[in-house]
A and B are shown apart, each in its own frame.
Chain A
């Protein structure tokens, strides 16, 4: 954004930008910011009648602590699964982004486009396809059984007692699969932006390829990893489709609980408190993460 400030191309305007912005901003204020306010109000309310969805604003701050106490396992599980999926996304996405950016040659755009192809189908149907692949009659378990690798995969906790579907592993794998492009794209952009002459210079100064990677490419690509981590972790922590379709009763994530409380149990104060806490933890986490890494490229 600092660059845009100094852009001589920009004009000064008082009324024109206001006119152009106001419809969109109005929409975001009305349907994004105001709802957060009503969410907070309901989070501080009590339910006078357990059989009616009504509520009364009583500034009951203990809603928050009650909700955390009651749903601590789901909260921890959500952050744990999302963290594991994010690490998996880095392990898969970084080498792939590196390969496309530096070894892709003239096929770079095609290779990058291929990363996006899975997203031309529905999120749900992709996840249902994983049910087929990971199921007990699926190709993965068939392969492991045929080559007598189930013992090995059990030991490596890739499989859980000879099964993958309906285990935490399947949920984490599904989360990683569904959010990995949000990791690959920013890393690709940051590696692609690196001036190739810097890499050549490192090589001319007799660095080994590993040193050139560690001292030139890796530090310059970290903003991409940073952006990718946020773009993967945040939606993964809130997602519950993977947990519902690929997991079991013990893999329920926080989104599932919030949804159930709102839509089935109509316990709005608890649901709102839980939703608000979840958002607060994510926001604080993002700020701490940004501070620790010292990067301010949140929006790019």
Chain B
């Protein structure tokens, strides 16, 4: 109805709201509906998490911890009772640690080059960085498998680490690049003009400025590495040097057992990461308030 008003009298004095309450009522209904929809979406997002935490306190009746039986704290008291799961978790942590350190260094250097320098072939470099992210994991995994098969490389820890570095490097390069975009590189010139050596400039000016981006990229790639199943399953091998990561252990045993320790470990990781995030948010909030 307000449209017709524009058409008939475009010069009419602007009103804050078209007269009459119904419009406003309708608007609040509309925004409330959106709020309800968003709440339902959040319930959907959180439902599995509630289940995971709740079932970490369940005493399963059989081998599968998927039906509620009764409350127990035994699982939390013995989170590492299932030895093969614990070993798989340690393997995953080892892979992630090595892969993420290398990927963060390689990806960080690439991001630095892309965000600081003008050079020929930038576009091509950018495409090669983005491509692994738009290629399905199954293709990445199977093509790496053919490479190692061709080269007669025995599958195991090294090949898994190589694969994880490959898919983390792109994420690191893009994350760090996004964080340092618009950074004022003349600060480095200022440091050099004041007599600083290149290494000291990097240590005291460049590195502190890119550190938040590097840290975010490291955490992201750690999360990706520790959670990967599809690519890993292709390069973990089944011979002598083969390894089993935590996701592989769960997937391979899925038809035969789901012990509650899986839920305990998942809940612990969840609670720890949410806690870390909360502490980080609170600290930045307090710092912002202190500045203001």
Q: Which residues of A contact B (CB under 8 A)?
A: 1, 4-5, 9-14, 16-18, 20-21, 23-25, 27-29, 31-36, 38-39, 41-42, 53, 92, 95-96, 98-100, 103, 109-110, 113-115, 117-126, 128-133, 135, 137, 177, 180, 204-209, 211, 230, 234-235, 237-241, 244-245, 254-255, 258-259, 262-263, 268, 271-272, 275-276, 278-279, 282, 286, 298-299
Tell me if A128 and B67 are in contact (CB < 8 A): no
A210 → chain B, closest Cβ, in Å?
9
CB-based contact B165/A27 at 8 Å: yes
Chain B binding surface, main DSSP class: helix
List residues of chain A with CB within 8 A of the CB of B5.
Answer: 206
A11 touches B117 (CB 8 A): yes
Given contacts A1-B123, A20-B112, A38-B146, are A279 and B136 in contact (CB under 8 A)? Answer: yes
A178 closest partner in B (C-beta): B48
New A-B contacts (18) at CB < 8 Å, excluding given A36-B139, A137-B67: A11-B117, A12-B117, A21-B109, A21-B114, A23-B109, A32-B140, A36-B143, A114-B42, A122-B227, A128-B250, A128-B258, A240-B230, A244-B254, A255-B137, A275-B138, A275-B139, A278-B138, A286-B134
Known pairs A117-B49, A121-B49; A13 contacts B130 (CB<8 A): no
Q: Does B93 contact A (CB under 8 A)?
A: no
Provide the bound-state CA to CA distance between A117 and B277, in Å.
9
Contacts of B22-55 to chain A: CB distance below 8 A: 27, 30-31, 34-35, 37-38, 41-42, 44-49, 51-52, 55
The answer to whether B3 and A207 have CB atoms under 8 Å apart is: yes
B110: nearest chain-A partner, CB-CB:
A24
Complex interface: chain A residues within 8 A of B27 (CB):
209
- Nearest-CB distance from B48 to chain A (Å)? 4
**Distance (whole angstroms) from the CB of B192 to the closest CB of chain A:** 13
CB distance from A267 to the nearest CB of B (A): 12
Bound-state Cα–Cα, A80 to B46, Å: 26
B190 on the A face (CB < 8 A): no
Central interface residue in A31, A34, A98, A100, by most chain B CB within 10 Å: A31
CB distance from B162 to the nearest CB of A (A): 6
Q: Is B262 an interface residue (CB 8 A)?
A: yes
Chain B neighbourhood of A234, CB < 8 A = 134-136
A34 cross-chain contacts in B, Cβ below 8 A: 147
Q: Is the CB of B273 within 8 A of A239?
A: no
Given A20-B109, A298-B130, do A109 and B142 touch, yes or no (CB 8 Å)?
A: no
Q: How many A-B residue pairs have CB under 8 A?
A: 283
Q: Taking the complex as formed, is B126 at the interface, i.e. its CB lies under 8 A from any CB of chain A?
A: yes
Q: Determine the chain A residues whose CB is within 8 A of the CB of B34 once the complex forms.
A: 95, 98-99, 103
| In-complex Cβ contact of A110 among B51, B149, B234, B281 (8 A) | B281
A9 touching B250 in the complex, CB below 8 Å, given contacts A38-B143, A206-B6: no
Scan B112-151; emit 1 where CB is below 8 A from any A CB, else 0.
1111111100110110111110111111111111110110
The answer to whether B136 touches A237 (Cβ under 8 A) is yes
Contacts A1-B122, A95-B37; is A124 near B117 (CB within 8 Å)?
no
Q: Are B166 and A32 in contact (CB under 8 A)?
A: yes
- Inter-chain contact B185/A25, CB cutoff 8 Å: no
Can you name 27 A-B residue pairings with CB atoms under 8 Å? A1-B123, A4-B122, A13-B118, A16-B117, A17-B119, A21-B114, A24-B107, A24-B110, A24-B169, A34-B147, A36-B139, A38-B146, A95-B37, A122-B246, A122-B247, A129-B52, A132-B55, A137-B67, A209-B27, A230-B134, A234-B134, A235-B136, A238-B138, A240-B230, A255-B137, A258-B138, A268-B149
Interface pick from B71-79, B207-215, B263-271: B263-271
A interface footprint on B1-19 (CB within 8 Å = 1, 0 otherwise): 0110110000000100010
> Is B98 an interface residue, CB under 8 A from the partner?
no
B229 close to chain A: CB less than 8 A: yes
- What chain B residues lie within 8 Å of A13 (beta carbons)? 116-119
